[in-house]
Amino acid sequence: MQSPRLTGLLCTKSSTWRALQYLVNILGFALDWLLV
């Protein structure tokens, strides 16, 4: 039995994780640029 609330939570967590990875990529790029 799957509750829609749990599924929604997982979807939100997934998109949040995606945004977090995106931010980490940008931060890494900025750090590389600053250190060069």
For 1-36, the pLDDT digits (tens) are 567 777 777 777 788 888 999 999 999 999 999 887
HEC letters along 1-36: CCCHHHHHHHHHHHHHHHHHHHHHHHHHHHHHHHHC
What pLDDT does 17 receive? Answer: 87
Positive or negative: CA dihedral 13, 14, 18, 21: positive
Q: What is the pTM of this model?
A: 0.56
Q: What pLDDT is stored for residue 30 in this prediction? A: 93
CB neighbour list of residue 24: distance below 8 Å, 6 or more residues apart: none
